[in-house]
Amino acid sequence: MLGAVIARHTAHVARHATYTPARMPKRLPRARTLKGDPKIAYYDSGGGVAGEPAVMLLHGSTMRSEDWENVFPRLATRYRVVAYDARGHGRSGRAVSYELRAFASDAIRVLREIVKGDATLIGHSLGALCALACAADAPELVRGLVLEDPGVRYPGRWEPEKERPLREALAETGDPKAFLRAVGKIPLGSPGPRGERTYGEMRGFYAAERVVTYLKDLDPAFVEWRLATDDLSAGEVAGWIAGVRSPALVIAGETRLGSQLDDNGEWALKKAIKDLTVKRFPGTGHVIHGYRPEPFLEALEPFLRRVRAPEGATGP
């Protein structure tokens, strides 16, 4: 009897344990490659507490898996965490198509071939739309959704003048000094924590010296595609939202500071997804996990506990 009580108490403590920084690695694990067209670079922490679903991280446009370095190691103290570089980004292969549906198909492929089981998906921006696609098209693989500032009214063609600094930077990748200067001139998607407007003004996680590592492997054809193409697959987003059956948490900033989730977009999500929680972070715009990782993780944990696997299940 005493042994059973102790066992139940131990299981309860394990389920409700918080992150343990002492065990937290500083970087992502070694990159691995999922063969295919295109090849997909991914990072897999392995491990995880028995009975917890895996967590899959999906980054936004022009980023790469390193954009989750403030989040991945902490989540990995409890969960198996998988992140991957989107096609044309980071270490993943370049592609013929950069339609939204192609990005979404890659996400489902990683779920089926790498995670090989259900997971909670945490997606930012473009990654959030891919997470929605997974929930609609492969519901058996999605235990829960965390959508960070999803642009549910996915824009079609990018504006050439707005993206000119990015295009100029990508033309300088062969000259490290010129590349760094050009990256420093790229406007931020939303103001930094101290009102910074460009990567050159930033310090720390999004300093230009770090962002060059994000952009050095970005396929310029991805940017040109977005500048020249009205992505007809964007019309599928509403269908993906309507197909979500899993619990979902939306984390977003303020539209005046660059959040892509306006009132109409939030209403569309609330109308379609029955089990939905929306949390707005005052003083932030499009990026929350990078600027404010601690509050971001604090918002995640109750949701991750709620969608945990049934007691007694084992992880991969």
Containing domain of residue 126, as a range?
Answer: 31-156+231-316
Compute the distance between CA of residue 56 and CA of residue 192 in angstroms, rounded to an integer. 26
Q: pLDDT tens, 231-255?
A: 767 778 999 999 999 999 999 999 9
Q: Which of 203, 229, 255 is the last residue of a domain?
A: 229
Let me know if residue 120 belongs to a domain.
yes
Per-residue pLDDT, 221:
96
Q: In terms of domains, do 250 and 199 share one?
A: no
Give ∠ CA 193-195-200 in degrees, rounded to 5: 95
Q: Are residues 179 and 311 located together in one domain of the fold?
A: no
Q: Count up the domains in the chain and report the number.
A: 2
* Nearest to 138, CA basis, from 107, 174, 168: 107
Is the domain of 108 the same as that of 257? yes
133-190 pLDDT tens trace? 999 999 999 999 999 999 887 666 788 999 999 999 999 999 999 999 999 999 998 8
Instruction: Compute the distance between CA of residue 44 and CA of residue 65 in angstroms, rounded to an integer.
Output: 11
Whether 172 and 260 share a structural domain? no
What distance in Å separates the CA atoms of residue 13 and residue 34, rounded to the nearest whole number?
A: 36
Instruction: Read off the DSSP letter of residue 31.
Output: -
Here the tokens at position 20 are 């343990």
Same domain, 79 and 209: no
Amino acid at 257: L
229, 251, 272 — which closes off a domain? 229
Name the domain boundary from 229, 260, 281: 229
In angstroms, rounded to a whole number, what is the distance separating the alpha carbons of residues 161 and 135? 35
Neighbours of 267 (CB within 10 A): 11
Indicate whether 205 and 144 sit together in one domain: no
Predicted confidence at residue 19, as pLDDT, reads: 34
Same domain, 51 and 194: no
